[in-house]
Amino acid sequence: MRDATSPDLRLGYLVFEARRLQRWIDFCQRTLGLPAPLINPDGSRGWQLDSQAQRLIVQEGPSDDVVALGLHCASEQVLEALAARIRQAGLELEEGNPRQCTARRVHRLVRTTDPAGNAVELYVDPDEAERPFASEAFPEGFRTGELGMGHAVLVSADLPAMEAFYEGVLGFGVTERLATRVGPIDVRGTFMHCNARHHSIALFDLPLPKRMHHFMLQAARLADIGIAFERAERNKVPMSLGLGQHPDPDGTFSFYGATPSGFDFEIGAGTHDIDPQGWQVQHTQLTSSWGHKPRLRLQLNMARHLLVRKLFGRRKPQGRQAAGAAGVSAAPGRHAQACSAARSAEVLR
């Protein structure tokens, strides 16, 4: 059950690093159907999804992975309360400088890192877009607002440490736990909420080398999903999962394909809201009610990385490398102890 005093948060933006920035520019225009991006002072590109200036941010770099998650705090008081919890947990916290705030187009941000090495940026007062969002591909736009921009699914070999950080330190609630087997692979996942969206963050232990599994954008219209699927196929986007629907209490109708950086995107609609107050954790063995048939590309990719894991063991968290890419100092070895201590001090939810 989620703590009634949990901070008011939403997933505000995602920052990716890409070796081939032009491929992302083409992908966002032709496949996602987004307006032309902003060019930020640091050279990164920022794409609009709604009234906020930018939600998807891509900067040039070698990792082809996520480097930062932006969490929009409802107020300075919420940000300060979370900053205090981070410090009390013994984790490092860095105040964003004016150059960094300008690049993210926010009034203020502070940074820490999660146990997998992802930079987590807490911010307030994002810039508004200069013009209303308009897209022929999504004429009614995306469902964002108080629910945030969508969701992000992160990969980690240490789910307890990640869950302790997002729940015990940042105040997320656990919506649902997944335990199933897909072929030779045991799949464990935790879906976490910070508002009425079923999950803004999900954590999975999978034999994959990247920290980002996929991000999801929620369209306002169900009809847009089929159109987006056909558009992706016409653009020869490598598909991962065909059209399908996740089971309740999520209920999303969606499909999955590959971004230019190799991790996936999901376009969906019809996601059910939850009531976070008094929510009881659900348990499931189903990833989909119907459809979402895996394509050969996904099956071969998973098999290849499963073999690598069996031969060479689990990859170690890339905390310092990831934090360095985002300009954040990190101490990944301290996360498990600090987060466990913080979680132990919490009332069970």
Q: What is the pLDDT of residues 181-208, one digit of tens each?
A: 776 778 899 999 999 999 999 999 988 8
pLDDT of residue 332: 42
109 residue type, one letter: L
H or E stretch including 232?
Answer: helix 223-234
Does the pLDDT of residue 170 top 70, yes or no? Answer: yes
Is residue 122 within 8 A of residue 83, CB to CB? The reply is yes
Helix (H, G, I), strand (E, B) or coil at 167: helix
Burial of 32 (0-12, 13-18, 19+ CB in 10 A): buried
Which residues neighbour 136 within 8 Å (Cβ) at sequence distance 6 or greater? 33
Would you give the end-to-end CA distance of the chain in angstroms?
4
Helix (H, G, I), strand (E, B) or coil at 65: strand
Q: What is the pLDDT of residues 124-167, one digit of tens each?
A: 999 999 999 999 999 999 999 999 999 999 999 999 999 999 99
Pairwise CA distance, residues 159 & 189, whole Å: 8
Distances in whole angstroms, Cα of residue 17 to Cα of each of 72, 92, 118, 160, 250: 21, 23, 12, 26, 29
Q: What is the pLDDT of residues 12-63, one digit of tens each?
A: 999 999 999 999 999 999 999 999 999 999 999 999 999 999 999 999 999 9
Is residue 277 within 8 A of residue 2, CB to CB? The reply is yes
Band (209; pLDDT cuts 50, 70, 90)? confident
3-state helix, strand, coil in the chain (%, to 5): 25, 35, 40
Pairwise CA distance, residues 165 & 7, whole Å: 14
pLDDT cut 70: percent of the chain above it = 82
Alpha-carbon torsion 213, 332, 10, 26, what sign? negative
Tokens of 307: 């073999």
Which residues neighbour 258 within 8 Å (Cβ) at sequence distance 6 or greater? 237, 238, 239, 240, 264, 265, 297
Q: Please state the pTM of the whole predicted model.
A: 0.86
Q: Could you tell me the CATH superfamily of domain 9-327?
A: 2,3-Dihydroxybiphenyl 1,2-Dioxygenase, domain 1 (3.10.180.10)
Angle at CA of residue 346, ends 348 and 171, nearest 5°: 95
Number of CB atoms found within 10 A of residue 342's CB = 21
